[in-house]
Amino acid sequence: MGINLTALGEILGDGEEVLRGLNPAHCDNGLPTEGCFILKAHDLEGPSFAIMIAPPEAQDTSPLGVRQGISPDLFLTLLRRPDYGIAQLNVGSALQHVSELGVVFAQVDDEEWAEHRSAHAMLTGYQTLEPRTRRDLQRFLARLAAEKVLKKPAEKNA
């Protein structure tokens, strides 16, 4: 099962930054685990991310961030979960081991985000990876996200 990339919006370039909500249930000591990045072969839609706002001078490297990105604070309001944290990932770094395998971040409107719908992106293309490669990607994304946690999630309930 492959994803029809033509049905997706614009593919994010290596210079773009994305934001990921961090569910406290999938974090240890405020840091994301691979549970924050569940990737299944049968997923019809991949994990959601926000395209992070970029300054106008980043037009060449982050055109979507300049045009339609949102701030971490605004992203937190869209999550509607004040206990969630937020991590920032660079697209090029996040995909460095799998981009040649067809894994991409794609802009996909999310109507629930109302006027910010165009700031929504999904990770996709991983559905066709071998199970071990998918698990390696989950672990890698968690490690990368742990390096740039912008807001720690609330502590888990004991």
Measured in degrees and rounded to the nearest 5, phi and psi for residue 150 equal -85, -30
3-state helix, strand, coil in the chain (%, to 5): 40, 20, 40
pLDDT tens digits in sequence order for the chain, 158 residues long = 344 445 578 999 999 999 999 999 999 999 999 999 999 999 988 899 999 999 999 999 999 999 999 999 999 999 988 899 999 999 999 999 999 999 999 999 999 999 999 999 999 999 999 999 999 999 999 999 999 999 999 987 65
Bridge partners for 122 per DSSP: 48, 106
pLDDT of residue 70: 97
| Tally of helices (H runs) and strands (E runs) in the chain | 4, 8
pLDDT of residue 1: 34
What DSSP string runs through 88-134? Answer: EEEHHHHTTTTGGGT-EEEE---GGGGGGGGGEEEEESGGGS-HHHH
List all residues 6 or more positions away from 125 whose beta carbon is below 8 Å from its beta carbon.
2, 3, 5, 98, 101, 102, 103, 104
